[in-house]
Amino acid sequence: MTPFGARLAAAVDVHGPLCAGVDPHPALLEAWGLPDTVAGLERFALGATEALAPVVAALKPQSAFFERFGSAGVAVLERVLATAREAGALTVVDVKRGDIGSTAQGYAEAYLDPGSPLAADALTVSPYLGTGSLQPFFDTARAHGAGVFVLALTSNPEAPPFQQAVTAAGQTVAGSVLDHLRGLNAGEEGPLGSFGAVVGATIGRTEEDLDVGGPLLVPGLGAQGGTVADVRRIFGPASRLVLASSSREILRAGPDPAALAAAARAVAEDLAALRDVA
């Protein structure tokens, strides 16, 4: 069983460090000429997945835009994950789950156990019940060769009072999350660990050591204002670990499949230089 980090490194070598979002936002459905219904959701999400899965390292469906349609929407998410898997693309479900004990274990099994219809290669989680509360996610990921991305430094304006608060140990909350990930990846084999951090491309600057030995999922590229130059400046030598996420910039090129694929390739080409950072 090949760990997620190794599989991701191989996919990035082929396609570049791009994770394309599959975000069926109502405005994007409208832009594609689709109704804001389950039928519109399915046409959008599967159309985007079929066009993008062959040309990107990973796809990142945003669960919220599926869940708002209830069980029918979740069923579409299941089909998106299956379609991406059949095309050979890695998947990161953006759900930002976080809980304790058996509940955390239940979430972990839902998204990381291959026997689940919602199984993905990785998921996003929130550490704000304590990094120790995430252990079921880490253990389940290891058992199935999956990955976990932990929120660390997000770019929303409400984040700094929490993420940059200083703990009793004298480091920031974000710093403690990054340290925890470094420890998890220290025992991982292969070119890249399987446990990564979520760090926004629009955070401005940080004094934190962003090299956690695993991938850095970096949202905010494109429509949200983040640029490749921003990534180079913020991440420095850790730029080589970046898996940049772009959603609206690519999805606005749809619904034509060729236009979607071309948009993704263009973003991936811009990002390719990040892999050369020492």
Residue 202 lies in a domain: yes
205's CB contacts (< 8 A; 6+ apart) are 233, 234
Catalytic residues: 96
Residue 33 lies in a domain: yes
Q: Is the pLDDT of residue 144 over 80?
A: yes
Q: Is the pLDDT of residue 276 over 90?
A: no
Mind listing the pLDDT tens digit for each residue in 19-76?
999 999 999 999 999 999 999 999 999 999 999 999 999 999 999 999 999 999 999 9
Residue 11 lies in a domain: yes
Structural domain total, the chain: 1
- Expressed as residue numbers, the domain containing 156 is 4-273
Amino acid 260 reads: L
Residue 217 lies in a domain: yes
Give the integer Cα–Cα distance in Å for 276 and 14: 15
Residue 26 lies in a domain: yes
Give the integer Cα–Cα distance in Å for 4 and 217: 14
- Percent of the chain exceeding pLDDT 90 equals 87
Mind listing the pLDDT tens digit for each residue in 216-235?
999 988 767 778 888 888 99
Q: Tell me, what CATH number does 57's domain have?
A: 3.20.20.70
Residue 278 lies in a domain: no
Q: Model-level pTM?
A: 0.96
168's CB contacts (< 8 A; 6+ apart) are none
Q: At what angle are helices 257-271 and 38-52 packed, to 10 degrees?
A: 50
Which residue, 107, 192, 174, 99, is CA-closest to 141?
107
- CB-neighbour burial class of residue 71 (10 A; exposed 0-12, middle 13-18, buried 19+): exposed
Mind listing the pLDDT tens digit for each residue in 162-189?
999 999 999 999 999 999 999 999 978 7
